[in-house]
């Protein structure tokens, strides 16, 4: 696959991690693989936990010119000096996020497998739309985003699209030509060697 056609990579953090261990794992990946964006996707609702983790990961990522967005927590984006927000509720809060964060912030929206929701998010000012899960997953309703959705989107819509959720080597190979980004997280962090797992997963992209 030609370099200009190759999908870019978004890395998703685990829902919880040890701040004494994970930053070193993440640094190793960021130093070895070209990453466009880091998405902080912590399950915690504890503000202190989010702020502490956000500070550490922002410094790591920004030192390597990698943008950082955080799942859902709109109010923490400015406080942490992040680049934007990844909304997990489709198009519903895109306009508010854009208004609150301004024109320069990254606003992305996860839209399940719904074309209509994706179009609404794009019209609301989203910088990208994410569809998924790609493979068998407990994410959302568990209904997989199909090839036709990505094929149609890549031909008809200019808003960049992300494929995420239960990715496999076979899915990366199939969807590579019709997606702008792959978002990878749980597929690699449970491995003894996340970097090797990531390289194996993305091998079809060349």
Q: Mind listing the pLDDT tens digit for each residue in 117-140?
A: 999 999 999 999 999 999 986 655
Domains, the chain, in order of start with CATH, read: 3-205 (3.20.20.70)
Helix axis angle for 194-201 and 22-32, nearest 10°, is 40
> How open is the CA angle 4-182-62, to the nearest 5 degrees?
80
Contact 73, 86 (CB under 8 A): no
Contact 132, 139 (CB under 8 A): yes
First and final C-alpha spacing in the chain: 6
> What's the maximum distance between 2 C-alpha atoms anywhere in the chain?
45
In which band, very low, low, confident or very high, does the pLDDT at 143 lie, cut at 50, 70 and 90? Answer: confident
In Å, what is the CA distance from 11 to each residue of 79, 93, 108, 109?
22, 23, 14, 15
Q: Mind listing the pLDDT tens digit for each residue in 57-104?
A: 999 999 999 999 999 999 999 999 999 999 999 999 999 999 999 999
Helix axis angle for 147-156 and 115-123, nearest 10°, is 30
Look up the pTM and report it.
0.95
């Amino acid at each position: 696959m030609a370099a200009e056609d190759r999908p870019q990579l978004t890395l998703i953090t685990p829902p919880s991690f040890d701040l004494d261990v994970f930053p070193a794992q993440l640094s190793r990946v960021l130093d070895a693989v070209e990453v466009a964006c880091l998405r902080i996707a912590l399950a915690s609702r504890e503000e202190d936990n989010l702020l502490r983790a956000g500070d550490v990961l922002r410094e790591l990522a920004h030192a390597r010119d990698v943008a950082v967005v955080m799942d859902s927590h709109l109010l923490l984006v400015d406080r942490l000096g992040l680049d934007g927000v990844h909304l997990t509720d489709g198009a519903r809060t895109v306009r508010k996020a854009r208004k609150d964060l301004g024109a320069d912030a990254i606003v992305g929206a996860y839209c399940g497998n719904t074309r209509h929701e994706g179009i609404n998010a794009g019209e609301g000012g989203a910088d990208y739309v994410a569809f998924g899960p790609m493979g068998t997953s407990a994410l959302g309703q568990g209904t997989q985003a199909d090839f036709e959705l990505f094929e149609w989107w890549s031909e008809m819509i200019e808003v960049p699209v992300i494929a995420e959720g239960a990715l496999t080597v076979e899915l990366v190979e199939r969807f590579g030509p019709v997606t702008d980004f792959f978002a990878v997280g749980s597929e690699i962090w449970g491995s003894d060697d996340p970097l090797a797992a990531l390289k194996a997963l993305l091998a079809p992209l060349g």
